Structure 1
């Protein structure tokens, strides 16, 4: 057995096989009555199956291309809790699982989602992710672009766009977040270089999609170096921070980025209770105020009071601030008057590819 340790994270860089070939689906339900429901379903559906009572297991024979149809029917047979609790393993061919197969055992719900996620596997394999860029401008002069945020988009084979929400939802359900997050970071860097962006670049990352920063992020750092980007101009933006249960793990990611010379931004500040705790735990270089907090802030004394205190904290701690979701002149005037450093929103410019090179001068 080789003792060689891989230099990269294989999980992030390896795509699962699409569940389209002939093979066997091994199912281990959590309860006896769930096993009975599965057997009754198989019998009524006329499927080829084996019952292995001693292992509380049902083995189903799947022909090529039949997984998606089975997934829909199983979803109607078992409860949501049973779908999450039943363990599933798909193995191509007719052989029995070996030790190397068992790391691939996962919830049946995940298998069902993956069986319908062949389009996303293809999109990642064919590098059909791209980035749209939204400018972030100086609050005191909206003509001066401080940075661009890279926002992920998918592309169909005909060139039409796939929304990031659809991609993220499918990736989360099919356990493809690791591969998606890596691909999105690489796309953002490549597109920024292709368009010759010279200001700072904000790149989103999902903390739960990173196992170990020393391995998972090594390829991203390499792409940045190869692209010739200055590290201090790259800002990694923590998204979905409320989903990061392990703060120590998130802190390790932040430390890795900082040691490499990058800056860190905390996104959606004010959107959830945990984000306030993350200020002192992560000590970000930049805080982005959530757009829901900014919406009609000039008319809402509660939002105004909360935001004013957040800005005071940031100014005292030397943290730069970005107001997201600026859509009206009134919102812009309020945040500008209360000391926000930078602005982002549709009033300035929408996300675009190619990115805008100039922004309007908004006074008042």
Structure 2
């Protein structure tokens, strides 16, 4: 049984459908009816809303948001597209959204297209074994590709997907694109793959397609490290622990990313029993001259080593930062000093 929630994008295109509009308060009725009449829309009053016949939904949403309702009202006006000439079916209710949600969906059509067409480019950044001075593995980083071939800002891509409630789909296609790209590049070292905990409901279902792709390209479980994105923002540790337990039961390793970027309790984080703890660049930047950051790092190392974690310092950009970290109990390092994310992963490094 597959997880339909993260495999099929919600419907956005409704050419010439009937539309039911729910109006929030009675004082909006005259405004709405006058606007509809002035623009030659046919409508019928039903209960506390209106049925409008044969409209192109995107244009209708644009009309309502630009000419009828303000940004506050749009949160309470609700829109339900219906098949033309057909009555209401329970299956249609999944498309019952506020006007503001429809506006976000249409503004983010390019993001939806990137997901549905899997226009994802994967870049690989090397992770270095400090003691051996060689490449230990790679972190796979996903970038959305716009129709003109340029790269969409990754923060904008994920923020827009979140606003559209499409993180489920984006997270899945990025994971799977990373796996296929790693196989194509012949990567045999550790592969760190990001995932967003809130994009996974039931691990045994939501992660089936990921496991299938790994099997198809013959990447073994012990090569893969699934990395929790935005660790410091996790609120439901019980749910995250279920996900990590599932990964461990299948033979994968796990990592906590961005540790130190917020104020999460280190004890709570370590109860998740990851294999790796990645220290955020906000702690690493100027670590060699910042006593407070040095104390923070020492606490992470001490607590992590107590349960046998490998400590990875990320975001290293200067020789001075690297030289300081080498004197500490750091296992792995990552950052522009050693190599930027590249579509074709570097295979050799020359340490400073």
What TM-score does the superposition give when structure 1 sets the normalisation length? 0.88
Spell out the pairing of 1:94-243 with structure 2 (5 A cutoff): 94-142=85-133, 144-243=134-233
Distance 1:277 1:68 in 2: 48
CA deviation profile, 1:37-67 (whole Å, cap 9, x unmatched): 972784487262646473x324455326515
Does residue 9 (structure 1) correspond to residue 3 (structure 2)? The answer is yes
1:66 equivalent in alignment to 2:59: yes
CA offsets, 1:156-202, max 9 Å, x none? 23432222212112211111111111101110000000000010001
* Counterpart for residue 3 of structure 1: none
* Alpha-carbon distance, 1:94 to partner: 4.5
Give, in angstroms, the shift of residue 222 of structure 1. Answer: 1.4
- Count the aligned residue pairs: 351
Task: State whether residues 19 and 118 of structure 1, in contact with CA within 8 Å, keep that contact through their aligned partners in structure 2.
Answer: no
> In 2 relative to 1, CA 46–192 (structure 1 residues): closer, same or farther, beyond 3 Å?
same
Provide, for residues 268-296 of structure 1, a one-character-per-residue CA deviation record: whole Å limited to 9, x for no partner. Answer: 00112236354233111100111111111
Offset of residue 352 of structure 1? 0.7
Q: Structure 1 residues 323 and 155, CA, compared in 2 at 3 Å: closer, same or farther?
A: same
Q: Distance in 2 between matches of 1:276 and 1:84?
A: 38
Matches within 5 A, 1:293-312: 293-312=283-302
Q: Which moved more, 1:277-286 or 1:230-239?
A: 277-286
Alpha-carbon distance between aligned partners in 2 of 1:318 and 1:311, rounded to the nearest angstrom: 10
Residues in 1 aligned to 2:335 and 2:10: alpha-carbon distance in whole angstroms = 37
Instruction: Report the CA distance between 1:78 and its aligned residue.
Output: 2.7
The alignment yields a C-alpha RMSD, in angstroms, of: 2.5
Structure-2 change in CA distance of 1:70 and 1:237 (3 Å): farther
Paired with 2:60 and 2:314, the residues of 1 have a C-alpha distance of: 42
Q: Is the 8 A contact 2:14 2:81 kept in 1?
A: no
CA–CA distance in structure 2, aligned partners of residues 17 and 104 of structure 1: 7
> Where does the alignment leave 5 or more consecutive residues of structure 1 unmatched?
1-6
Does the CA-based 8 Å contact 1:37-1:77 persist in structure 2? no
Residues 122, 316 of structure 1: CA spacing in aligned structure 2 closer, same or farther, 3 A cutoff? Answer: same
Shift of 1:86: 4.1
Deviation at 1:214, TM superposition (A): 1.2
Q: Does the aligned pair in 2 maintain the 1:20–1:67 contact within 8 Å?
A: no
Aligned residue in 2 for 1:4: none
Q: Secondary structure at the match of 2:271?
A: helix
Q: Shift of the alpha carbon at 1:245?
A: 3.0
Structure 2 unmatched ranges of 5 or more: none
Deviations 1:281-328 (A, max 9, x none): 311110011111111112221111111111111112211111111011
